[in-house]
């Protein structure tokens, strides 16, 4: 995933795109553009129900999805239904619940092992809602095949209680595992992989496309690592420990980067050029 720019993930802004990256994007026969939602296409907000796609990001998705040489996929920890509603851009693939749910327009699939563990998720949600009912700012979200415990608005003195309750709920419920994101704890079916599951599936369907993944959270690292050597991993933010090869500072910059990608494809000469 290295772009040969420097060791580690150097900053990349839309004002100073690296020429080698532009050349790769322009010359590729197609692009598989995979994008996280929260913290990438939408700013992180205290209440996840308030998250909205940035207007500039929506415009970029519309441009990229309108290019027949580009496949756009939004890969999120949100449920598939929630993701569809918030993105609402034509010709975009949706992968919800960290790739356990995939909607490619013509067909939707849910991991059968995750479906089988649905009763375990329900039991964990019921337990956590009872135990954390009095904790300020804590939201226990049932997402169907997974569950999230959001504590972004929870005062620091209550955070250990939230974390311990989630850990105990996962340990006490067969078939679940606990993972962590930005001020969120997630109980997922204990099946291999995360967002990399969706990336691998999409790469099978688009084997000749250059894969690109843009994301901000530790849950995006599986997807970064799933990219081939020629793939492009872009971190949104300043987190140090990452498999990404380049970074942009914030969601606004991620939107600008996506517009740059659309410009590169539209301006490319020869095979693989966008429309």
CB contact set of 36 (below 8 Å; sequence gap of 6+): 74, 75, 76, 195, 213, 214, 215, 216, 217, 220, 236
12 in a structural domain: no
Beta strands (DSSP E) in 16-59 are 31-35
Q: What is the pLDDT of residue 19?
A: 76
Residue numbers of the domain that contains 127: 114-189
pLDDT at 193: 81
Domain check: are 138 and 100 in the same one? Answer: no
Catalogue the long-range contacts made by 115-122 (C-beta closer than 8 Å, 24 or more residues apart). Answer: 115/145, 116/175, 116/189, 117/145, 117/175, 117/176, 117/189, 117/190, 117/191, 118/144, 118/145, 120/173, 120/174, 120/175, 120/176, 120/189, 121/145, 121/146, 121/147, 121/176, 121/187, 121/189
DSSP string, 162-229: HHHHHHHHHHHSTTEEEEEETTEEEEEES-S-SHHHHHHHHHHHSTTSEEEEEE-SGGGHHHHHHS-T
Which pLDDT score is estimated for 141? 94
Does one domain contain both 126 and 160? yes
- Give the per-residue pLDDT at 69: 95
The question of whether 82 is a catalytic residue gets the answer no
Do 87 and 209 lie in one domain? The reply is: yes
- Whole-prediction pTM value? 0.86
In whole angstroms, what is the distance from residue 235 CA to residue 242 CA?
Answer: 8
**Same domain, yes or no: 103 and 132:** no
Pair (31, 133) in one structural domain: no
Catalytic residue among 3, 36, 47, 220: 36
pLDDT at 239: 86
Q: How many domains does the chain have?
A: 2
Q: What CATH code is carried by the domain that includes residue 83? A: 3.40.50.1000
Last residue of a domain, one of 189, 222, 245: 189
Statement to judge: residues 105 and 128 lie in one domain? no
pLDDT by position in tens, the chain (length 275) = 434 333 445 455 544 556 788 889 999 999 999 999 999 999 999 888 999 999 999 999 999 999 999 999 999 999 999 999 999 999 999 999 999 999 987 667 888 988 999 999 999 999 999 999 999 999 999 999 999 999 999 999 999 999 999 999 999 988 899 999 888 999 999 888 889 999 999 999 999 999 999 999 998 999 999 999 999 999 999 888 899 988 899 999 999 999 999 999 998 754 444 43
According to the model, what pLDDT value does residue 12 have?
A: 54
Residues 220 and 254 placed together within one structural domain of the fold = yes
Q: What is the pLDDT of residue 210?
A: 97
Question: Does the residue 9 lie in any domain?
Answer: no
Residue 9: per-residue pLDDT: 52
Tell me: do 27 and 151 sit in the same domain.
no
């Amino acid at each position: 995933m290295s772009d040969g720019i420097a060791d580690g993930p150097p900053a990349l802004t839309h004002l100073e795109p690296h020429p080698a990256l532009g050349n790769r994007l322009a010359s590729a026969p197609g692009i598989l553009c995979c994008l996280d939602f929260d913290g990438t296409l939408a700013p992180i907000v205290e209440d996840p129900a308030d998250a909205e796609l940035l207007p500039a990001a929506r415009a970029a998705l519309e441009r990229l999805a309108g290019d027949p040489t580009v496949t756009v996929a939004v890969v999120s920890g949100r449920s598939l239904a929630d993701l569809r509603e918030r993105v609402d851009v034509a010709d975009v693939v949706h992968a919800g619940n960290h790739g356990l749910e995939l909607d490619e327009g013509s067909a939707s699939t849910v991991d059968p092992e995750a479906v089988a563990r649905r009763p375990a998720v329900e039991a964990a949600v019921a337990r956590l809602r009872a135990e954390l009912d009095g904790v300020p700012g804590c939201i226990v979200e049932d997402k169907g095949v997974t569950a999230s415990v959001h504590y972004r608005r929870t005062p620091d003195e209550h955070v250990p209680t939230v974390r311990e309750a989630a850990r105990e709920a996962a340990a006490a419920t067969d078939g679940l595992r606990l993972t962590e994101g930005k001020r969120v704890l997630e109980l997922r079916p204990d099946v291999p992989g995360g967002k990399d599951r969706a990336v691998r599936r999409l790469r099978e369907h688009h084997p000749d496309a250059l894969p690109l993944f843009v994301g901000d959270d530790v849950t995006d690292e599986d997807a970064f690592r799933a990219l081939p050597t020629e793939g492009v991993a872009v971190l949104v933010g300043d987190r140090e420990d990452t498999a990404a090869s380049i970074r942009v500072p914030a969601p606004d910059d991620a939107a600008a980067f996506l517009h740059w990608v659309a410009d590169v494809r539209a301006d490319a000469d020869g095979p693989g050029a966008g429309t």
